[in-house]
Amino acid sequence: MMTSSGDVFVLGIASTPAGRFPGQTFFDLCRNAVIGAGNDAGFTALPVERVWFSSVLMDFWGQRACRGQEVLTPLSDEGVLPHGLCIQNVEAGCASGTMAFFGAVSDVLSGEAEVALAVGAEKMNHPTRPRQDILAWIEGTAGQLDPEYFYAPHRKLAAELDVSFDPGEEGRSVAMDVYALWAQAHKQAFGTTDQQIAAAAAKNHTNAVNNPRAQYRFPMTIEEVLADRMVTQPLTRAMCAPTGDAAAAVLVCSRAYLESQPRAVRERALPILGHAACGGRRWSLFEDDRSAARAAERAYKKAGIGPSDLDLVELHDATSIAEILLVEDLGLCARGQGGPFTKSGATAPDGTIPVNTSGGLVSRGHPIGASGIMMLNEVALQLRGEAEALQLPRARVGLAENGGGIIGHDNAVSAVTILGAPS
């Protein structure tokens, strides 16, 4: 019999704080996250049969192969994980964590495992190498292929907007320059203002004040966001997610396995109502076929719900213009209305659909390989009523959207997960 997403449950989930932790290794971060997820499910020894591991930058630190095996095998010697596990390594840019999670879910759906584990980890602050080396490492793929194939849509858009686009300029982030192009295009097409983009950033910085897992925990006003150092017009530093170190882990299980567990475990398990991932298209700018819109449509269909049924959303605001675009892609507002929708307060904790109550990537942090599972953790805390000072008064259905990479005017991959509250 074919199973559905709703037959798989989040059994345990945990995340470390994000920040600069020079004294902690990949193993230290992963150990904390895996043990945390086990404790969350009531286990000291995790009964997992398959593991999916995500990281983007372990290569930068010299670990080019078998990353998950190198990091997680010591946990078998400690008795935390079984010996001889099959560990799959996943890399999908900033969506790596969610794609690892989807791998674990697929193992349970297929019957390959009753319990599976996904782990995401990243260290983005090297003690001796400058931050620009990290950016070059992440964005270097274009140089291995035909860079002009990658840059052509951006050069064309820049010419139409009469703005510059110079990916070869030393010290620049191509990703931030592309997001800035999208911001300029959205402003020209729909009248979006810098104040509206800044409203998303100010909201998220303020939300993060009470989040003990957040990398930045200070409030900001719209005026302070706009006055911050310019990265690429119109994006200021406060509108861009910081680099950080963190790990996160999530245990998923089958319905049959869950039903065999004690009541205390069953009462905290979260049903996965729907999940979907879609690839990007090079020329999809402000169109309804953007990867996030297509992934959301599929996830809504699987869950049997629509955007109006959501109680909260955690989305991939690598920059604040991304939040403006994504509230449109997810169907929270009409195309082109993301700016005024956000500025109106609709996405605030007391708004009609709270978005990024955790602080989002711009404040919660963006440790690439861990980000997707971190976002799921924030949704899970809300749905369980365990978000403490961040807790929303009613949280029964939550969505997490995680995007990875850039292909033309779209993410290379967008992944959407819809979770339900414990029954």
Instruction: Tell me how far apart the terminal alpha carbons of the chain are, to the nearest angstrom.
Output: 24
Query: Phi and psi dihedrals of 322, rounded to 5?
Result: -65, -40
How far is it, in rounded angstroms, from Cα 291 to Cα 280? Answer: 5
**Which is the catalytic residue, given 186, 275, 366, 409?**
366
Map residue 267 onto helix, strand or coil.
Answer: coil
Q: Are strands 115-122 and 50-54 parallel, antiparallel or unpaired?
A: parallel
Residue 126 is among the residues annotated as catalytic for this protein: no
Contact 15, 373 (CB under 8 A): yes
Is the dihedral angle over the CA atoms 44, 50, 51, 52 positive or is it negative? negative
Q: Are 72 and 100 in contact (CB under 8 A)?
A: no
Torsion of CA 209, 206, 384, 297, to 10 degrees: -140
Two tokens, residue 201: 């950033």
Do 5 and 274 form a contact (C-beta atoms < 8 A)?
Answer: yes
Torsion angle of the four alpha carbons 44, 110, 98, 51, in this order, in degrees rounded to the nearest 10: 40
Rg of the chain taking only CA atoms, in angstroms? 20
The helix or strand, by DSSP H or E, that contains position 10, with its residue range, turns out to be strand 8-15
Bridge partners of 230, per DSSP, are 236
Q: How far apart are CA 85 and CA 324, in angstroms?
A: 41
Could you tell me where the beta strands, DSSP code E, fall in 60-214?
Answer: 86-90, 115-122
Q: Give the whole-angstrom CA distance, residue 421 versus residue 385.
A: 9
Q: Is 278 known to be catalytic?
A: no
Tokens at 352, concatenated: 């009609």
Instruction: Exactly one of 94, 240, 253, 333 is catalytic; name it.
Output: 94
Neighbouring C-alpha atoms within 13 Å toward the C-beta of 402 = 32
Beta bridge partners of 76: none
For residue 173, the SS3 value is: coil
Catalytic residues: 94, 366
